[in-house]
Amino acid sequence: MKVLVINCGSSSLKFQLIDSDSEKAVAKGLCERIGIDKSRIAYTPAGGEKEIKEIEMPTHSEAIKAVIEALTNNETGVISELSEVGAVGHRVVHGGEYFNKSVVIDEDVIAKIEECNDLAPLHNPANIIGIRACMEAMPGTVNVAVFDTAFHQTMPRESYLYAIPKRYYDEYKIRRYGFHGTSHSFVSKRTSEILGKDYEDVKTIVCHLGNGASICAVENGKSVDTSMGLTPLEGVVMGTRSGDVDPEIVKTIAKKDGVTVDEALNVLNKQSGVFGVSQVSSDFRDIDAAIAQGNDDAVAAMEVFVHSVVKYVGAYAAAMNGVDCIAFTAGVGENNPGVRARVCEKLGYLGITINQEANKVMGEEREISTPDSKVKVWVVPTNEELAIARETLELL
């Protein structure tokens, strides 16, 4: 069977068609500028050339139609008819406290996702539009929602409650939710398999370091703490997000720059992090290049980033009273040996030693710690689309 995995943003739609037997993508692509002029679809069949077509896509409905057209196209399509798509798995960003696992979508589920719109105003409405567009284009096909927040619903109260007046949680559900749950779950499970340990019997810290970054403490198969909070702004330093700051900074920026709270938060979300400190780029490849040229602001950005990751790993090792394995994943975690080496060097007190030769690995599953390292350190590539496809199949 084939599962169509859909990840809708406000003006974009990423897709992959995954074959359940081989667990490989048979085609993938991206619709961009939905609702804007010059909208286009990029489509790549496995082993084939990427093709880009400009198609008018005023809404996500046209985008879904363009995806279906690409997948069933006589020349470059990978399926002969739409009925070969057995189910659709949707990435949904926020499931609030309603969802602690993936669910088959019906009207009640859509209503609950809608109730979480306030918690993810940029993402959840787009996710619902994508779901409705699929229901319309493929009536009778099962749609499954896989939530970024669900894996973290196992966090104990001490991890998810903010120390603010209780009524904010009671009335508005202001609490830590955490994100990247599909990735943290996928990577931590895979890590226990690699170690040959029972998932229920291992303490892992997953460092999902991409443009967005979060760290998760996984104990006995459950997320027990994670660095992102009510929104993805909290936690470690990221590409353009500040991560943890003193909340008073928002007021100070608003006052000094004469801007609104929303505009000040925009600074923390879009102009901060590694980009903000370096004034070079949010991309670590550019930071590495600037460091090589002696740019001190780029050096500072790297130091601030590494320091924040090291602090979270240390905090989670303490919170779990130990750690068996650290897994690096996502764009930077998988592909940047320099970042991994700098982080691990500062974790020597945990008994971690790195094999510098093995650490040169990029984008491949590999142990990078030495045989005598007390804590195992692995690079474990994430695959959120495959995780979504697996969850979807499980519910069929």
Catalytic residue IDs: 148
Q: Which residue is nearest to ligand ADP (CB)?
A: 331
Min dist. Cβ of residue 282 to ligand ADP (A): 6
> Is there binding between residue 336 and ligand ADP (CB under 6 A)?
yes
> Is there binding between residue 16 and ligand ADP (CB under 6 A)?
no
Query: Is 78 or 298 the residue whose CB approaches ligand ADP more closely?
Result: 298
CB atoms < 10 A from the CB of 321, how many?
8
Q: Distance between CA 133 and CA 13 in Å, rounded?
A: 11
- Pairing label, strands 203-209, 325-329: parallel
Q: Distance between CA 389 and CA 19 in Å, rounded?
A: 9
The site string for ligand ADP over 266-295 (x = CB under 6 A, - otherwise) reads -----------------xxx----------
Min dist. Cβ of residue 30 to ligand ADP (A): 12
Could you tell me the two tokens for 291? 């460091």
Which part of the chain contacts ligand ADP (CB under 6 A), choosing from 28-36, 208-216, 226-234, 301-309?
208-216
Query: Is 151 or 284 the residue whose CB approaches ligand ADP more closely?
Result: 284
Min dist. Cβ of residue 321 to ligand ADP (A): 30
Could you say which residues in the range 215-274 bind ligand ADP, by CB under 6 A? Answer: 239
> Is there binding between residue 331 and ligand ADP (CB under 6 A)?
yes
Min dist. Cβ of residue 332 to ligand ADP (A): 5
Query: Is 253 or 277 the residue whose CB approaches ligand ADP more closely?
Result: 277
> Is there binding between residue 330 and ligand ADP (CB under 6 A)?
yes
Query: Is 211 or 266 the residue whose CB approaches ligand ADP more closely?
Result: 211
Query: Is 268 or 317 the residue whose CB approaches ligand ADP more closely?
Result: 268
> Is there binding between residue 298 and ligand ADP (CB under 6 A)?
no
Q: Which of 96, 178, 210, 232 binds ligand ADP (CB under 6 A)?
A: 210
Min dist. Cβ of residue 124 to ligand ADP (A): 18
> Is there binding between residue 9 and ligand ADP (CB under 6 A)?
no
> Is there binding between residue 335 and ligand ADP (CB under 6 A)?
yes
* Residue appearing with tokens 């139609």: 65
Query: Is 215 or 320 the residue whose CB approaches ligand ADP more closely?
Result: 215
Cβ neighbours for 263, distance < 8 A, ≥ 6 positions apart: 254, 257
Binding site for ligand ADP (CB under 6 A): 210-212, 239, 283-285, 330-332, 335-336
